[in-house]
Structure 1
Amino acid sequence: RILERYGMTETGMSCSNPLHGDRRAGSVGPPLPGVEVRIMGEDGEELPRGDIGALEVKGEHVFKGYWKLPEKTASEFKGDWFITGDMATLSEDGYVSIVGRGKDLIISGGLNIYPKEIEDVLNDQDGVVESAVVGVPHPDFGEGIVAVLVGDQALDMAGLESACREKLAGFKVPRRWVQLQALPRNTMGKVQKNLLRDDYATSFS
């Protein structure tokens, strides 16, 4: 069985589904003992439970700062709270669910779009091995949505678009579709969405 958890280099492990207890698929569980979390809005105020916002973490496990980078350290702390860079929700009973990286947020036509929501739909479709959704410049909407997919065969892009229209609001449906042999990854195995944004930056120009 999979035990979903959440941590990062700067904090170590912060949240975990219980080994014996209520494990929730798609959630990284509640904060560990001694760890505090909060979800913050763009106005710097803490958001109500269930709202999507910026995840901040506090506790003795949080590192003290970046080596010889005082400006970067200052920019990523609010007092004792560390700004993780992740977008998340916090349930009424304290379970954290990660929505995506803040830097990957797409703003199209003034509306916030979280790539993970679209990727979850795409990854459930037959033939799709994995997907990455990115926002690139769009002359009318600020950003347009590009879906980059890896499949075990030639993918039916029209069918994938129809599936998205069935499950997502219209403004969340990708406008450009690309199939690759593999997604670009760094040495840690993370998908390099910055490279995809660069590669398809002129999709709507």
Structure 2
Amino acid sequence: RTETWQAFFERTGHQILERYGMSEAGMITSNPLAGERLPGSVGFALPGVTVRVSGEDHQPLPAGEIGMLELTGPNVFKGYWQMPGKTAAEFSDDGFFVSGDLAVMDQSGRVRIVGRDKDLVISGGLNVYPREIEQALDALPGVLESAVIGVPHADLGEGLVAVICAPTEMAPDEASVINALKVTLAGFKMPRRVFRVDALPRNTMGKVQKNVLRETYAGTFTD
């Protein structure tokens, strides 16, 4: 979150060094240790690593367009143990590993992560990236964190549901949240329902389990 980056800098005088990596490849990109660090960006590909933002055909997209982040280099693993089918599915024909992360790259090669491909919501034929909505939700007073998901909707295909972690008495109600989001978000990005919880479900790695949330709220628009 750029707000966290800025708040940390204002309090300490130090800039957070944002990087990007994963189990399958170790560290992949980084902002420079000595040089300009842009909040919200995970920086440039590390030496020896090649990254690209590609379309569904695995061809690089123009700078500024959102697509799948793919990578290759000596740091990338060879495949999943005894899972040849999964390995084949995760690599392009020219040997790039398909990260599963949506990203955008600027003209200089800086990368910004937009979100997970599996979390993309298609509502009314329009692509909605939950991370943008979550950032707006997290900025609201009383909201500690949030998760936005898509669940079945008869007319839209998927309807947006926001789940906010707001355990305090200062937590905003559903109407207040929706009204606040109208100031910053386009109409098609607006959650149709907002649910409040004391804590978001997480796996052993500490990542929010959106699959659990999708199961929990699957009947929101169909029951």
TM-score, normalised to structure 2's length? 0.90
Instruction: State the one-letter code of the partner of 1:24.
Output: L
Query: Partner residue of 2:16?
Result: 2
Q: Residue 166 of structure 1: SS of its match in structure 2?
A: coil
Residue 186 of structure 1 is aligned with which of 203, 212, 217?
203
Query: Partner residue of 1:103?
Result: 118
Instruction: State the one-letter code of the partner of 2:157.
Output: G
Per-residue displacement from partner, 1:163-184 (whole Å, max 9, x unpaired)? 2111111010000110000000
Q: Answer yes or no: is 1:171 the counterpart of 2:188.
A: yes
The separation in 1 between residues aligned to 2:179 and 2:107, in whole angstroms, is 34
Query: Partner residue of 2:174?
Result: 157
The separation in 2 between residues aligned to 1:80 and 1:44, in whole angstroms, is 11
Could you tell me how far 1:42 is from its partner in structure 2? Answer: 2.7
Query: Partner residue of 2:161?
Result: 146
Q: Residue 116 of structure 1: SS of its match in structure 2?
A: helix
Q: Residue 176 of structure 2: SS of its match in structure 1?
A: helix
Query: Partner residue of 1:199?
Result: 216
Deviating more after overlay: 156-165 vs 45-54: 156-165
Larger strand proportion of the pair: 1
Could you tell me how far 1:3 is from its partner in structure 2? Answer: 1.1
Alpha-carbon RMSD across the aligned residues, in angstroms, is: 1.0
Query: Partner residue of 2:51?
Result: 37
Query: Partner residue of 2:25?
Result: 11
* Native 8 Å contact 1:155 1:179 kept in 2: no
Query: Partner residue of 2:10?
Result: none
TM-score, normalised to structure 1's length? 0.97
1:124-135 paired onto structure 2 within 5 Å: 124-135=139-150
* Native 8 Å contact 2:63 2:105 kept in 1: yes
Query: Partner residue of 1:54?
Result: 68
Query: Partner residue of 1:75?
Result: 89
Q: Residue 212 of structure 2: SS of its match in structure 1?
A: helix
The separation in 2 between residues aligned to 1:65 and 1:146, in whole angstroms, is 35
The separation in 1 between residues aligned to 2:176 and 2:62, in whole angstroms, is 37
Instruction: State the one-letter code of the partner of 1:92.
Output: Q
Specify every segment of 5 or more residues in structure 2 that has no aligned partner in the other structure, as ranges. Answer: 1-14
The separation in 1 between residues aligned to 2:24 and 2:195, in whole angstroms, is 34
Q: Answer yes or no: is 1:24 the counterpart of 2:38.
A: yes
Identity, in percent, stands at: 59
Instruction: State the one-letter code of the partner of 2:190.
Output: V
Specify every segment of 5 or more residues in structure 1 that has no aligned partner in the other structure, as ranges. Answer: none
Aligned length: 205
Could you tell me how far 1:142 is from its partner in structure 2? Answer: 0.4
Could you tell me how far 1:92 is from its partner in structure 2? Answer: 1.0
